[in-house]
Amino acid sequence: MDAYIFPGQGAQFSGMGKELYDSSIEANNLFEEADRLLGFSISTMMFGGSDEELKQTKVTQPAVFLHSVILAKTLGEGFRPDMVAGHSLGELSALTAVGALSFADGLLLVSKRALAMQKACEAAPSTMAAIIGLDDKVVEEVCQDIEGVVAANYNSPGQLVISGSIEGVDAACELLKQRGAKRALRLAVSGAFHSPFMEPAKQELEKAIRSTAFNKPICPVYQNATAKASTDPETIKNNLIAQLTSPVRWVECVNNMVTDGATTFTEVGPGNVLQGLVSKINKTVTTAKA
């Protein structure tokens, strides 16, 4: 069975989407629609913007979403997923690609999500760090002892991202190095995503999600907050709202997809980070790039 997976923030690069724009009339039209919907030329930033411009959350999230969704749409009959999942922001790309959201609604939700998260980051300085080479339980134990620090992204065995206050994350990194972490690296992000620091953004986004029409997707969507498959629009909405302050359960998502029959994982969008994570989670499956 074919699983399609959609990357999150951090996969962006200058020039992204240009090939699609140049080679497909459908892509051309969708990029132009995106520029109109957002009220600025995101296509110009994607095709020729600097790395700094692309790092702005209000640009990054719509850019990664557009690259992924437009690529999926241009695959036509070649896009026949039995199941999908997206990492963090990628969940909205996945939902749009399989028809749970219209292109316009998906893009506008991503834009609102990005602005709400940016506002939350500015209101309370916070950060994230990648912890490499430790058992999840050890990382969780250390986080429990430090106020305001939580496990945020279960990316692959031995790679867990923590999230929280700057002082708390720095303290956790020191303790985790003492406990045997190979690396404990602060990430170049603007705030503590997938943690209680995102509560104001969650409340803001909830209003937007509740007032957006969701359809039944063409296949099951494995969601970050629960790692379970869903096709029910109401369940999908609830999990999407929970996602901002909940950990990304990527290891569980992939394992559950494999249990349910996935043998090939195709990454749709910029970069190949998810292919690498899937290969570390399960060595028996095939990974590919759309």
Just list the catalytic residues: 88, 194
Helix (H) or strand (E) holding 160: strand 159-165
218 close to 99: Cβ distance less than 8 angstroms: yes
Report the b/e string of 168-184 with b at 16+ CB within 10 A. Answer: bbbbbbebbeeeebeeb
* Dist CA 17 CA 238 (whole Å): 31
Within 39-102, where are the H helices? 42-48, 51-55, 57-74, 90-97
CA 117 to chain centre: 13
Q: Is 148 left (phi over 0), alpha (psi -120 to 50) or beta?
A: left
* Dist CA 180 CA 220 (whole Å): 39
Determine the 3-state secondary structure of 15 from DSSP: coil
258 close to 285: Cβ distance less than 8 angstroms: yes
Beta-sheet strands, E only, within 166-232: 183-186, 221-222, 229-230
3-state helix, strand, coil split of the chain in percent (to 5) is 50, 15, 30
